[in-house]
Structure 1
């Protein structure tokens, strides 16, 4: 599909956030142009949890039913000390508060496929192999911004939505700063991996000894080993033997180690980590490694999610606007909620008085929520990162004790499910 010369709304990035923004606009009668630098959807180990609040938001654009048909409807997240459960984040117990009392477990690539197919039904096709390299005010046109691409093409747009990830080109070209809201450390100020906690995420097929029971209706964190097992249904045409199972695993690596894990771990590395961290005597054999990557755990939020450049508007969603620890699986969820809110704000701006207050309000409200999520994920990450020894034992005892306090248990479930962030 060729790139048009002009468009009212240009969405840069065809991950779940960019697609959700374009879908929201399409349902409101506005066809955005969506560009993506990649040639195809990524199948990497990225988001895999879709929470209750996100499903509520997706229902407003007609996507919740499509998504419910894929993946596993998990009852929640259970934290363990060795093999003993000590705290159950019971999302299933929220049935009186939400239509979606579960965590939908599905690879991000599967959700993206559904988003893109629905967008295509609205007559919008993603234009791939289109890498943005420039953005400037266009004073010669009513379309306020001129965006240039690596292949030499350009497009004029009134609104440019940056949905192009943590290293967002759109955010950088717009001159919007990106730093930790607590420490004011810029996102790329300290690139040394050893200074950060890291998490290896891997999609794997496991052959699990029959003596080992890892529940397939919840996400399981084993805190003493700093390892998580998240059950997934196999994506696409992948055929799995009935004795094997498909999982996302997370391996937390504390900061300050003399050696850093590989950026893209191989089969041997993942198997060794499982062997060292699993709390059971029985074997867990890595039958197949589909994809794996190691991420530095950092937090940052954009100074603003909206910036006017001349008579053009730059707006940010998802990782372009905020990043944080993957613990708790909030990233894709926060971004999708951003995207639907942004689509509505742009539509209101186009169809209404074109008062920039509606876009500024989007920025203020979503940034406030992003900071709250960053603070919550930092607390959860700190719990995972407690070293083994007496501190770990005390933390485990405290978690077990508070698990009997119903208001605390429900508050944690409410926040994890995203219901805290309802408008």
Structure 2
């Protein structure tokens, strides 16, 4: 790990991999350090791994010849039935329909939205990165970061040993709990959570007792996409997620019963994870020779699938600017324009996420907002506006 590189990227998720591809296309040498040994996870596969791609992301992937390598968007029109439905998307779980959207005057050609799978997207990007000469080291969790005027030294734990790598630049794409962000001295400002979200695969006893689809109750929300595939929102202020405790069968069953009001039983728990609507953003995306992108730069509730698209936009914006800087071809201020252009986009997405939480609160105020938004979304102008926002057209 002593070979110098132009850039070290922390994190081999979609954002880190896409950024590595952009830099490698511009003849930059890139090393990716990824703390996980194994990229495979049930939570990255369908149905949990489903992610919506908006128009800018579709265009970016198409421009790089990556969209054509992905099979899931070609065959997956509806994530649960495999057929096209009237549903075009949602805001806070409130559906808007294709027939209500006015697309006259919109650019024609590529789709405005597509469904993808996180696992496949990572596989496609990994193949491309490796073909371009990107070096990927898995099982390399970063423990320390230090920068000086000439570059950045990164210490990572590999096979029980501490090893150091050095590069001219470091980009943290290492997710919501980013070590690079913490070690790099970035301020992470925002708002605290209102709920703990659960995603789990279980064996349900008498699964038919639970309604299919998204069900909002006075105690929260549950969503059963397929029998045994559950998403829950428990408005506990994010308390359980913040404990860091593993999700047990008994705990998940208690939460499900309380939210649904149904005495349903969980026979077995296969996999589960928690998340929250905590919304925070780095006040600056750059500190000297260290930059942030993706969830390392901004976190929010995964409502409406905005996070992946926000990260793809970061990578596409940063890649060519950092490459031009590395090759001494950048005009003054070019790299700083990454912050100037992408930070406001992040602010807008975080507020979009907060607004959805407000509409989903199991309170009289939340239900009143929900009713008003339902009326708005069911109008042609309303459906068109929400489609434009969700699909990244405005």
Per the alignment, residue 36 of structure 2 pairs with: 38
Say which of 96, 121, 144 aligns to 1:89.
96
Q: Identify if the C-alpha distance between structure 1 residues 294 and 210 changes in structure 2 by more than 3 Å, giving closer, same or farther.
A: closer
Which among 379, 386, 390 is matched to residue 416 of structure 1?
390
Distance 1:169 1:79, change over 3 A: closer
CA distance in 2, matches of 1:286, 1:120: 42
Query: Which residue of 172, 181, 193 corresponds with 2:182?
Result: 172
Q: CA deviation at 1:369?
A: 0.4
Corresponding residue to 1:349 among 322, 325, 335: 325
Aligned partner of 2:88 in structure 1 is 76
Q: Does residue 15 of the first structure (1) align with residue 10 of the second (2)?
A: no
What do residues 345-381 of structure 1 show as CA deviations (whole Å, max 9, x unaligned)? 2122234534451211011111110000000100001
Pair 344,372 (structure 1): closer, same or farther in 2 beyond 3 Å: same
Partner residue in 2 for 1:266 = 248
Q: What corresponds to 1:123 in structure 2? A: 133
CA RMSD of aligned residues (A): 3.4
1:62 aligns to 2:65 (yes or no): yes
| 1:113 equivalent in structure 2 | 123
Measure the CA separation in 1 of the matches of 2:50 and 2:168.
33
Q: Which moved more, 1:121-130 or 1:316-325?
A: 121-130
Query: 2:37 & 2:249 partners in 1: Cα distance?
Result: 26
User: What is the DSSP-based 3-state SS (H/G/I as helix, E as strand, rest coil) of the residue aligned with 2:387?
Assistant: helix
Q: Equivalent residue of 1:152, what SS?
A: strand
Farther off after superposition, 144-153 or 265-274: 265-274
User: What is residue 237 of structure 1 aligned with on the other side?
Assistant: none
Displacement of 1:25 = 1.8
Which aligned pairs between 1:259-298 and structure 2 lie closer than 5 A? 263-278=245-260, 289-298=269-278
- Determine if the alignment matches structure 1 residue 403 to structure 2 residue 359: no
The secondary structure found in structure 2 opposite 1:5 is coil
| Displacement of 1:211 | 9.4
Change (3 A) 1:285 1:255: closer
C-alpha separation in 1, matches of 2:208 and 2:236: 34
TM-score, normalised relative to structure 2: 0.80
Q: By how many angstroms is 1:160 displaced?
A: 0.7
CA distance 1:51–1:255, shift in 2 (3 Å)? same
Q: Is the 8 A contact 1:5 1:154 kept in 2?
A: no
Asked if 2 retains the 8 angstrom alpha-carbon contact of 1:263 and 1:293, the reply is: no
Other structure's SS at 2:356 match = helix
Match of 1:377 in 2: 353
User: Is the Cα–Cα contact under 8 Å of residues 220 and 362 in structure 2 kept in the other structure?
Assistant: no
Counterpart contact for 2:196–2:239, Cα < 8 Å: no
Stretches of structure 2 lacking an aligned partner (at least 5 in a row): 79-86
Normalising by structure 1, we get a TM-score of: 0.75
- Kept in 2, the 8 Å contact 1:79–1:223? The answer is no
Gaps of 5+ in 1: 81-85, 184-189, 215-219, 232-243
For residues 397 and 327 of structure 1, the distance between their equivalents in structure 2, rounded to whole angstroms, comes to 18
1:299 corresponds in structure 2 to 279
Quick check: 54-63 or 156-165, which moved more?
Answer: 54-63
Q: Secondary structure at the match of 1:202?
A: strand
